[in-house]
Structure 1
Amino acid sequence: MKRALNFNAGPAAMPAEVLQKAEKNWLNIADTGMAVMELSHRSKEYEQIHENAIQGLRKLLSIPNDYEVLFIQGGASLQFSMIPMNFLHENTSGNYVLTGSWSEKALKEAQKIGITAPIASTKKNSYRSIPQLSDINTTENAAYLHITSNNTIYGTQWHTFPTQLPMPLIADMSSDILSKQIDIRQFGMIYAGAQKNLGPSGVTVVIIHKDLILQDNDHLPTMLQYKTYANNSSLYNTPPTLAIYLLSLVLEWAEEKGGLQIIEKTNENKAKYLYDAIDESDGFYLGHAEKNSRSLMNVTFNLADKEKEALFLQSASDAGFIGLNGHRSIGGCRASIYNAVPEDHVYKLAQFMKSFKQNS
């Protein structure tokens, strides 16, 4: 079966094995004679799918029992509003570290809700790096500290996280969840849109400590309270059943690959192919991110010669490489190499980069 050399930033590549399994069961899931989209979300067949997805996340990420796993719609963008609505109260502040466009958007939404403080930022250096942990000084009245763990547009990533904080650490992990091993207990809450490493767009995973859910937020609309989802196993209303089903298959696939230890090593290898092609090009390719902040998920770069950059992107497209244009806000080139992007596809791109340089 022909598969595209897909480097799209999101929605992104899905594992071929997952799509094949879904195709096999497309018209008859669990011997029901129905597609998963046709099942009642109250049926025992769908409830099993739902539970499999929750338990798959718990196993792969080693999620402790005092954390809830929730499925919410609205993408990470809705979480930008739900977080301050649920956790910002009178005389408290939402602390934000700015490392790119998505953290800026999260801050902008929080400013509509309550008091905020951007406590660190790398905007002055065009978001080429992650702030030093020593430069992060939270306010005394902080309700939480919010970070974006991986920055898809600028190609930077947190490799260590703030610890021993007096307030919960909340992380938007939309673009690097499930890509490496993490300690869940470092965070009060993690959230992630599914359309990078978890599956298709349509569902957002929220992993949240139960203590945060206990806060009194009855003044909020029902669907904007985390406890609504926690108290109803994310089944208060009709969930995005197809997206959750495909998420469950992705989790099975990740487990079959050997879990996060193996996936993390593969991701390191994939990133090394591309960063070596950049670093060994004698300035022909220019990486955007500083080396100690480089993302393993989104490799961003420019060509020193802008005319050659346009030719590179066209030539890459002609050769079958999809999605290499940088984000429309900054241009350049970007290769998104999420879990489902096969290692040999990344190797082929690295070889294409080297060949293009040699022939230019």
Structure 2
Amino acid sequence: MQLPVRPARRQLGVSLIETMVGLTLGLLITLIVTQVWGSFEGQKQRTISSSSAQVNGVLALTELEQDLRNAGAGLTDSAAFDCTSVFSYYESSGTVVSPMPAYVGGGMSMIPVQITDGGSGSDRLTIKRSGDLLGAIPATITQPMPSSSAELNISATTGFVDGDTVLAIDSATGSCTVMLVTQVQGAAMKLQHNPGTANTNNPPNSFQSSNGWPAYATGAKVLKMGQLISHTFAVDSSNQLMLTDNSTPLASTTSTLAADIVSLQAQYGIANTGSQDVNAWVDATTSTGWDTLDSAKVKRIKAVRLVIVARSSKRENSDVTLPCTNATGTVVNANGPCVWADAEPVINLSADADWKKYRYRVYKTIIPLRNIIWAGV
């Protein structure tokens, strides 16, 4: 008897081969997605890093530019630049400071802009102005004032009020003294600067005598100063642009303005004596003779040329920044990016052996010292 043939049972599920093919395809898709995502993330990080460098660079340049444009404001007479010795004093609640932070440096303390050359590193820039932007018409001392005297006989009291900070200037000797007006005697044409108030710039006679404070002869000038605003900008070892504010009488304060600033470079724009037209840019170096300033040199400084270099925070795996080359491809600066067509200033980033593995933003500007120009110095 022949048994009936049963039909083959239908196969259910997937075979091992199909499973392996599926796993292979899944791995390939995962690999592709991972690569695309990694590329996207890398590009995003580069974009964010470059954007951060741009923001930091613009912020640093803006802060410096605003301060530089106000340099020398309120210093209404070039006689202020004749100071070679500045005597200053502040007393509050028994605490005495002399000289005050803004006036440290003697004769250099009245200079609107001073650049300290940093060699292959960043420069330091100190900017000063009067806290009283309008000031007053400079007055002339009409009678000799002994150092022990608390009375200034002057040619005019217009614009002076009680509580003003003034600067007495003897251009012949280079001596200058910071004083606090305690009383304006308009009819008598006198300014009193008595010691003994709670917050005063007027030391007692004993302090003046023991510290050699000067007397002032007829013809010396008196300028209404207000508080002297003194800001110093510098890049620290962590590549941060720092602002040191020496304006407060008792102590200096330091704050961070921008991160990832790797270079700050500045040059004086100088004119011939008696001219307002810049005819040369010079570094504040010994070789140029502009590392130290005097009254004659200060009056020739009409502008500042400024360069800020900001760096991205992300380090790339390969070199992404090339040395500076000219139009023919010749390397003109092997240690950093290009700035001006001039030979100086040169950006030197070689202190970091991996400097080529970062991206940079270079910001440059020329800032006229309008207060110096308007004063006709």
TM-score range, shorter chain: under 0.3
Q: Which has the higher strand share?
A: 2
Q: Which has the higher helix share?
A: 1
TM-score by length of 1: 0.22
TM-score by length of 2: 0.21
With CA pairs under 8 Å and 6+ residues apart, which has the higher RCO, 1 or 2? 1
Look at both structures and tell me which one has the larger radius of gyration over its CA atoms.
2
